[in-house]
Amino acid sequence: MFIEEADYMGVTVTCTEEQWRAKVEAGHPNMRGKEDLVRGAIIDPDVVMQDRSRPSRKHHLREEPDGRYVMVVVQYDYGPEPIRGRLVTAFMRRRRRQGDVLLYSRGGTP
């Protein structure tokens, strides 16, 4: 598995190398070689936001030194099996949007 990390809740989030190339690098070439930033946003995000359309989807954001955010979208599969997360996409984002529902903030303050 190319990415296999426990998120802020301890849920394992995965992404194969093929998925990484097809879902992330192909559309976002500036993410090439930034898999460690994505791992960091999964393991230790600054904030986690609820996706506004899908309850099973969350956005993990981590600010970089240049003020941009690494954003990792994770799909969580709930069911009889243990919860698992699958990486939907990841890219660089300029800023956070007002009004997002905050699920987690490192340090407790948004």
Partner 1 sequence: VTTQLPRIDLQSFERLRFSYDHEFDVAHLHVNAPCSSVAEEVADGWYLFDDDSGDSPVATSLEIHNFLAEVANEPYFVGVVKPSFDEVERFTGKQLADGVVAEGSTGELPLTARLVTFLLGVAITKLEALRENERIPAK
Tell me if residue 21 falls in helix, strand or coil: helix
Among 18, 33, 53, 81, binds partner 1 (CB under 8 A): 53
Residue 5 CA: distances (Å) to CA of 35, 63, 96: 12, 19, 24
Q: Which residue has the tokens 């598995």?
A: 1
Query: How many chain residues are in contact with partner 1, going by CB under 8 A?
Result: 24
Name the one range near partner 1 by CB under 8 A: 6-14, 22-30, 33-41, 76-84. Answer: 22-30
Neighbour count for residue 86 (Cβ, 10 Å) = 18
- In this structure, which amino acid lies at residue 67? G
Among 17, 95, 101, 106, binds partner 1 (CB under 8 A): 95
Tell me if residue 34 falls in helix, strand or coil: coil
Is residue 89 within the footprint of partner 1 (CB under 8 A)?
Answer: yes
- Report the interface residues with partner 1, using CB under 8 A: 22-23, 26-30, 51-54, 68, 71, 73, 75, 88-89, 91-95, 97-98
